[in-house]
């Protein structure tokens, strides 16, 4: 499908923002830009922004690498599910916000069901080279600590693609400016309002 890259006028953006009546949840691979794009999207829509990884860390009073090391991935996923459920709330008008989730959140069946039922879900997707370049900027991802980063990312993307594909919207987050991705997300959401 041809993507309309025309920038949105402020009035149009405000009108779309007002008709969003649920939380907007960004899902997708590590390094795709969920946090930076999410922050910009929230600013454009005048909505609060939260990052579920940050919320997990402050609830646990531990960093994500510490949680993985001390308690393992299953424990992390359970905490992630509870935190995302709290952030989404009832999925009502008063729960409107933009939520960036960790890369594995939407692959947990319960977390995915909750997001699909109560939020507007957006799968942010990038080509592998963009993901690899972006994950190199941070050193805090336990799943990338062992083995070759490219191979791990390729495997995870393959394993996760069928879950991500269940999101309501699929938006490409290219290597260009995040503002372009924000416009694409807003237009995708608008098409379903």
Contacts with ligand S3P by CB under 6 A lie at 30, 34, 53, 64, 102-104, 141-143
Q: Which is nearer to ligand S3P, 53 or 125 (CB)?
A: 53
Q: Which is nearer to ligand S3P, 30 or 119 (CB)?
A: 30
Q: Which is nearer to ligand S3P, 64 or 115 (CB)?
A: 64
Supply the minimum distance, in Å, between the C-beta of residue 19 and ligand S3P: 28
How would you class 166 by CB atoms within 10 Å of its CB: exposed for 0-12, middle for 13-18, buried for 19 or more? Answer: middle
Q: Which residue is nearest to ligand S3P (CB)?
A: 102
Q: Which is nearer to ligand S3P, 157 or 187 (CB)?
A: 157
Helical H runs in the chain?
10-19, 34-45, 52-60, 64-71, 73-88, 109-118, 128-135, 149-164, 178-190
Supply the minimum distance, in Å, between the C-beta of residue 142 and ligand S3P: 5
Helical H runs in 61-126?
64-71, 73-88, 109-118
At 100 the three-state DSSP class reads strand
Supply the minimum distance, in Å, between the C-beta of residue 14 and ligand S3P: 29
């Amino acid at each position: 499908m041809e993507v309309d890259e025309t920038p949105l006028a402020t009035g149009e953006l405000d009108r779309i923002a007002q008709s969003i009546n649920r939380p907007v949840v960004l899902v997708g691979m590590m390094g795709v830009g969920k946090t930076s794009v999410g922050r910009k999207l929230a600013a454009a829509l005048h909505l609060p922004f939260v990052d579920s990884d940050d919320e997990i860390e402050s609830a646990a009073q531990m960093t994500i690498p510490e949680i993985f090391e001390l308690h393992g991935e299953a424990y992390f996923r359970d905490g992630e599910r509870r935190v995302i459920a709290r952030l989404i709330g009832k999925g009502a008008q008063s729960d409107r916000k933009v939520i960036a989730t960790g890369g594995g959140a939407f692959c947990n069946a319960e977390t995915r069901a909750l997001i699909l039922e109560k939020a507007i879900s957006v799968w942010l997707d990038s080509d592998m080279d963009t993901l690899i370049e972006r994950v190199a900027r941070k050193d805090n991802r336990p799943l990338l600590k062992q083995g070759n980063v490219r191979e791990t990312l390729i495997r995870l993307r393959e394993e996760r693609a069928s879950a991500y594909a269940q999101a309501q919207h699929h938006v490409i987050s290219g290597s260009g400016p995040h503002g372009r991705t924000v416009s694409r997300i807003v237009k995708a959401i608008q098409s379903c309002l």
